[in-house]
Amino acid sequence: MAPSAITSDTSSAGEAAASDNRPRILVPEKVSAEGLALLHKLYTVDTRTGLTAEDLIALIPSYHGLIVRSETKVTAAVLAAGSKLRVVARAGVGVDNIDVSAATGHGIIVVNSPSGNIAAAAEHTIALLLATARNVGRADATLKAAKWERSKLVGIEVGRKTLGIIGLGKVGMKVARMAIGLGMKVVALDPYASADMAKQAGVEALVESLADLLPVVDFLTIHTPLLASTLNLLGEAELQKMKPTARVLNVARGGVYNEEALLKALDEGWIAGAGLDVFTAEPPALDSAAARLAAHPKVVATPHLGASTVEAQENVSMDVCTQVLEILRGGLPTAAVNAPLIMPEEYRRLEPFVRLIERMGGLYTQHFAGGRGGMVGGRRFELVYHGELAEISNTRPLFAALVKGLVSSISDAGGRDVNIVNATLIARERGIAIDEKHVRNDGSPALHASLVTLRSFEPGGGGTGHEQVIEGYVSGKVIFISKLDRFAANFHPEGVLLVLHNYDEPGKIGNVGMVLGKHGINIKFMQVAALNREAREAAAAAAASSGSVVDGPVVDTGDAAKEALMILGVDGDIARDSEVVRELGEAEGILNVSLVRL
């Protein structure tokens, strides 16, 4: 068995926060321990049920993550109080209890589990369908009350009956397949559904309107989110169009049926019954329409059990906890509600490019800006996607990766606070302007199918002058830097790097090796990156006319065209202001030394 979540009482919360510097996650509802077990090694997880709204606002400033189900209301006030909050996870599908707009405004990712409880919701729909058809609820209640009312509880068979489905998504489609297995005929209403997929699933017809659907169905089930367009989707006028023998089902969201209208439809005999799992207020308030529906003799009511199976709770817990784990350590979610959805197959395709672009951003800040923010804030960047990569429309993860890389060495959080929701906000706060450019089929070599170019310009430079360039590419899953400013390179951006700008003369490598050896620094790999052809020609021309070296100190020789970069991957504890960096920088022929940690 997986370990249980950490539980603590209100009085110990402050003490725990003070004694544990790890990121903290609050779980105010019961969430399956199988998922929470994923978080315990890296984070402090506090399961604290029974919190009031005031309790939640008081506690949330200490937490970096919040995992809820359907009962906790994550309001704008809660989100505003969560100064450290980076992710709110809904262990389920609907996020009606979360103020998603407010979360986005604070740069907080909201994730859910859109597929973890599909089977459970579909099965419960079928359970209510059969229960309403055979009066299971009333039969059970009367028998427990020592009554034998067999003659009053005659039901109907569902075979050869018509089931109408509004919303033919994953749950709706699974319900359709199950109903067809029971011998039912299925018709559906969903303007976004694929007619081919519906036909393959056995759905007899996709109708265009409620007017086409309601008069012909014997059972009606709705599987849509609660939106402005679906709130009170079925009212008195719609219910009056149905057969008096029809029954309606709701395992989606309270509010898609107008509860007052549904109550009247049952009392007036417009329909024969209802199977309800969700209500506008849960639990229903005393004497409310929801409470009267739950107690109605023609209704089979359950207390929001659609996702309440052991398997579904484990599935959604594992799903959202995995996403929380990734977000808090700087990764990407697979089901962000307030950002473009990243499907697993899309993430697998983007993942090496996310790593590449993050490393390019880190390399830029540490090499060109020396690890300081002065040459990052206020500059304009251009991120260019070439070839096949240019065909990808959802580049938000790539944009966020660049922002994360640019700020990782100059922020207290090391870039871990950057995500696809707040990347634009963080870039704006730091004065970083980023343009994305897609270059498709430019006739370049095949390498450009996986090439990314990062250019940086002075503010107001209009794209000319003082341009700095980094290019990289992906080969399989391995990432490489192929160009660093004016130099052609081919190295793997990982670990601790020393980048030396020098004259390519005999003895340089040996001198550098001696300095590193003196300080006990081991060289893992080394590469000499020469000027590319255009840069060699420009440097030679500049040296011939003025005796100066581009990007280097003024010299009185014509050796500018012999400039090179020496890129060293090293082992050892090196600080930017360390003696080894100072000695390398003072060595003859060394123009500049950059220490880069990636």
247-290 confidence digits (pLDDT tens): 999 999 899 999 999 999 999 999 999 999 999 998 999 999 99
Are residues 74 and 33 part of one domain? yes
Are residues 574 and 593 part of one domain? yes
Residue 319: domain span: 6-115+312-328
Are residues 476 and 351 part of one domain? yes
Cβ atoms of 591 and 502 closer than 8 Å: yes
Report the distance separating Cα 447 and Cα 451, nearest Å.
6
The pLDDT of residue 377 is 66
The alpha-helical segments, DSSP class H, found in 203-343 are 210-213, 236-239, 259-268, 289-294, 310-328
Decide if pLDDT at 439 tops 90.
Answer: no
pLDDT of 108-143, one tens digit each? 999 998 788 899 999 999 999 999 999 999 999 999
CB atoms within 10 A of CB 594: 22
Whether residue 333 lies inside any domain: the answer is no
Are residues 263 and 126 part of one domain? yes
Closest by CA position to 110, among listed 125, 94, 133, 123: 94
- As a dihedral over the C-alpha atoms of residue 47, residue 48, residue 53, residue 55, rounded to 10 degrees, the angle is -120
**DSSP letter (8 states) at residue 257:** B
Cβ atoms of 72 and 97 closer than 8 Å: yes
In this predicted structure, which of 401-415, 440-454, 480-494 has the lowest mean pLDDT? 440-454
Q: How far is CA 336 from CA 110, 328, 348, in A?
A: 6, 14, 16
pLDDT above 70 covers a percentage of the chain that reads 86
CATH number for the domain spanning 322: value is 3.40.50.720
Whether residue 94 lies inside any domain: the answer is yes
Whether residue 540 lies inside any domain: the answer is yes
Per-residue exposure over 158-178, b if at least 16 CB sit within 10 Å of its own CB, e if not? beebbbbbbbbbbbbbbbbeb
**Six token digits for residue 190:** 């969903």
pLDDT of 191-231, one tens digit each? 877 788 888 889 999 998 999 999 999 999 999 877 777 88
Are residues 129 and 51 part of one domain? no
Domains identified in the chain, total number: 4
**Six token digits for residue 108:** 């907080």
Are residues 567 and 420 part of one domain? no
The pLDDT of residue 195 is 81
The pLDDT of residue 562 is 79
Whether residue 548 lies inside any domain: the answer is yes
Q: Is 47 helix (H, G, I), strand (E, B) or coil?
A: strand
Cβ atoms of 65 and 86 closer than 8 Å: yes
Cβ atoms of 291 and 50 closer than 8 Å: no
- The pairing of strands 87-90 and 65-68 is parallel
Are residues 147 and 132 part of one domain? yes
Decide if pLDDT at 305 tops 80.
Answer: yes
Report the distance separating Cα 141 and Cα 360, nearest Å.
67
The pLDDT of residue 140 is 94
The pLDDT of residue 10 is 37
pLDDT of 363-413, one tens digit each? 999 998 775 545 666 778 999 999 888 888 888 889 988 998 898 877 666
Whether residue 598 lies inside any domain: the answer is yes
Report the distance separating Cα 182 and Cα 309, nearest Å.
22
Q: Of 24, 64, 253, 501, which one is the catalytic site residue? A: 253
Report the distance separating Cα 448 and Cα 431, nearest Å.
30
Are residues 414 and 352 part of one domain? yes
The pLDDT of residue 554 is 36
The pLDDT of residue 18 is 38
Query: Which position has the token pair 């599908």?
Result: 93
The pLDDT of residue 585 is 86
Whether residue 307 lies inside any domain: the answer is no
* Neighbouring residues of 98: CB distance < 8 A, sequence distance ≥ 6: 68, 74, 88, 90, 110, 337
pLDDT of 522-552, one tens digit each? 899 998 888 877 766 766 666 666 554 444 4
The pLDDT of residue 553 is 38
The pLDDT of residue 578 is 82
Asked about 253 being catalytic, the answer comes back as: yes
Whether residue 335 lies inside any domain: the answer is no
Query: Which position has the token pair 């007899």?
Result: 204
What is the DSSP secondary-structure string of 54-76?
Answer: HHHHHHGGG-SEEEE-SSS-B-H
* Neighbouring residues of 30: CB distance < 8 A, sequence distance ≥ 6: 47, 49, 69
Helix axes 136-144, 118-133, angle to 10 degrees: 70
Closest by CA position to 163, among listed 85, 221, 106: 221
Q: Is 563 helix (H, G, I), strand (E, B) or coil?
A: strand
**Six token digits for residue 199:** 């036909």
Cβ atoms of 169 and 122 closer than 8 Å: no
pLDDT of 18-39, one tens digit each? 345 789 999 999 999 999 999 9
Q: What is the CA radius of gyration of the chain?
A: 31
CB atoms within 10 A of CB 478: 12
Q: Of 64, 124, 223, 304, which one is the catalytic site residue? A: 304
In this predicted structure, which of 296-300, 451-455, 509-513 has the lowest mean pLDDT? 509-513
Are residues 108 and 142 part of one domain? no
CATH number for the domain spanning 504: value is 3.30.70.260
Asked about 15 being catalytic, the answer comes back as: no
- Read off the pLDDT band of 14 (50, 70, 90): very low
Are residues 540 and 407 part of one domain? no
Query: Which position has the token pair 């209640």?
Result: 141
Asked about 396 being catalytic, the answer comes back as: no
Closest by CA position to 314, among listed 64, 1, 6: 1
Q: Position 103: which residue type?
A: A
The Cβ-side half-sphere exposure at 543, using a 13 Å CA radius, reads 20
Are residues 521 and 549 part of one domain? yes
Decide if pLDDT at 299 tops 70.
Answer: yes
Terminal C-alpha separation, the chain? 38
Closest by CA position to 280, among listed 92, 97, 535: 97
- The pairing of strands 273-276 and 247-250 is parallel
549 or 154, which is more confident: 154
Q: Of 29, 34, 260, 282, which one is the catalytic site residue? A: 282
Are residues 269 and 209 part of one domain? yes
